[in-house]
């Protein structure tokens, strides 16, 4: 929630959010938004909302770069990532509105934390229940901070040519992927690579995870355990060369 003090909100052409105090003229750069907003307003309670170039309504939270959808939100574009969230610190994307994200060239959802920020561990948290469809990635998540990378996908996630869910955690904490919907990729269904502590990949009962080369490919190059719990079908669809699950634990402990 933002302050209800008299302020003017503004966004530049690369999506940076600015706050100008109306009484003093002081300008403060609040942070980086995932896309450029063409209309920004705050309600009486201090919650901020924006409208992007596709007339989608966003709920904006500057604390730890948190992005959430509102009812009726969707993105369908011919090229580029449907949504990109980048920055330092704790980044999150939350969708409880079954918001579909679709692109024919790029990633449906791309979230990348560049590292820690002002004492806040860099981390990535994704919770989505919409259908995500991309060419290169359904979900592309990377964390270069010391925190965790956590993905919970309750809707179907697909990539026509690449990886359904792609996750790399270079931090000290855990990498966790929970797929409660179907996941498919032209190359790999779920790819998990961790340099922190434990790795966990879990698929729900009744789901299918598939990829041309691998259904699930997971590697742990940090510390702790690597755990894959497949409660549904996992397949490699590339004829005799496809592999359902491949796992490599080079953990130091």
Residue 240 maps to a domain: yes
Q: Which residue has the tokens 């797929």?
A: 179
Provide the domain limits for residue 20: 1-63
Does residue 126 carry a pLDDT above 50?
A: yes
Please give the structure tokens belonging to residue 207: 């789901």
- What pLDDT does residue 84 have? 78
Residue 171 maps to a domain: yes
**CB neighbourhood size of 62 (10 A):** 15
Phi, psi of 43 (to 5 degrees): -85, 175
Question: Are 21 and 87 contained in the same domain?
Answer: no
Question: Model confidence over 159-169: pLDDT tens digits?
Answer: 999 999 999 99
Question: Model confidence over 58-116: pLDDT tens digits?
Answer: 877 645 667 788 788 888 888 888 887 777 889 988 999 999 999 998 999 989 898 88
Q: Say if strands 175-179 and 7-11 run parallel, antiparallel, or are unpaired.
A: unpaired
Residue 70 maps to a domain: no
Q: Which residue has the tokens 């953990």?
A: 251
Output Rg (C-alpha) for the chain, integer angstroms.
19
Angle at 7 between CA 4 and CA 13, to 5 degrees: 120
- What pLDDT does residue 16 have? 76
Question: Are 82 and 142 contained in the same domain?
Answer: yes
Residue 211 maps to a domain: yes
Residue 33 maps to a domain: yes
Mean pLDDT, the chain, integer: 88
Question: Model confidence over 169-217: pLDDT tens digits?
Answer: 998 899 999 999 999 999 999 999 999 999 999 999 999 999 999 999 9
Does residue 2 carry a pLDDT above 50?
A: no
Question: Are 100 and 202 contained in the same domain?
Answer: yes
- What does the alpha-carbon distance between residue 81 and residue 135 come to, in Å, rounded to a whole number? 9
Question: Are 205 and 140 contained in the same domain?
Answer: yes
Question: Model confidence over 218-252: pLDDT tens digits?
Answer: 999 999 999 999 999 999 999 888 999 999 998 66
Question: Are 188 and 103 contained in the same domain?
Answer: yes
Domain boundary (31, 63, 95) is at: 63
- Number of separate domains in the chain: 2
Q: Model's pTM, two decimal places?
A: 0.79
Residue 69 maps to a domain: no
Question: Model confidence over 134-153: pLDDT tens digits?
Answer: 999 999 999 999 999 999 99
- What pLDDT does residue 188 have? 98
Question: Are 88 and 120 contained in the same domain?
Answer: yes
Domain boundary (63, 89, 116) is at: 63
Question: Are 24 and 2 contained in the same domain?
Answer: yes
Domain boundary (63, 93, 115) is at: 63
- What pLDDT does residue 1 have? 42
- What pLDDT does residue 77 have? 84
Question: Are 104 and 176 contained in the same domain?
Answer: yes
DSSP alpha helix (H) spans, the chain: none
Angle at 125 between CA 105 and CA 81, to 5 degrees: 15
Question: Are 45 and 80 contained in the same domain?
Answer: no
Largest CA distance in the chain: 70
Question: Model confidence over 24-73: pLDDT tens digits?
Answer: 666 665 667 778 899 888 877 667 888 988 888 887 764 566 778 878 88
Question: Are 91 and 194 contained in the same domain?
Answer: yes
Question: Are 94 and 158 contained in the same domain?
Answer: yes
Question: Are 48 and 103 contained in the same domain?
Answer: no
When mean pLDDT is compared over 13-17, 122-126, 247-251, the highest value belongs to 122-126
Residue 31 maps to a domain: yes
Residue 184 maps to a domain: yes
């Amino acid at each position: 929630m933002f302050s209800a003090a008299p302020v003017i909100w503004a966004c530049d052409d690369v999506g940076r959010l600015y706050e100008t105090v109306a009484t003093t003229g002081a300008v403060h750069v609040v942070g980086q938004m995932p896309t450029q907003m063409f209309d920004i307003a705050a309600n009486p309670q201090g919650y901020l909302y924006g409208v992007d170039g596709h007339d989608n309504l966003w709920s904006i939270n500057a604390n730890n770069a948190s992005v959430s959808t509102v009812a009726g939100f969707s993105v369908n574009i011919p090229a580029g990532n449907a949504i990109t969230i980048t920055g330092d610190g704790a980044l999150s994307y939350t969708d409880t509105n079954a918001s579909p994200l679709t692109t024919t060239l790029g990633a449906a959802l791309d979230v990348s934390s560049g590292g820690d920020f002002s004492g806040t561990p860099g981390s990535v948290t994704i919770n989505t229940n919409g259908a995500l469809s991309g060419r290169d990635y359904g979900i592309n998540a990377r964390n270069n901070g010391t925190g965790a990378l956590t993905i919970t996908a309750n809707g179907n996630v697909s990539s026509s040519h690449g990886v359904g869910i792609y996750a790399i955690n270079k931090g000290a904490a855990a990498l966790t992927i929970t797929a409660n919907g179907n996941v498919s990729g032209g190359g790999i269904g779920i790819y998990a690579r961790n340099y922190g502590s434990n790795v966990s990949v879990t698929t729900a009962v009744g789901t299918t995870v598939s990829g041309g080369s691998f259904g699930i490919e997971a590697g742990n190059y940090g510390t702790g355990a690597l755990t894959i719990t497949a409660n549904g079908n996992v397949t490699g669809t590339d004829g005799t060369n496809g592999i359902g699950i491949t796992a490599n634990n080079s953990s130091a402990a």
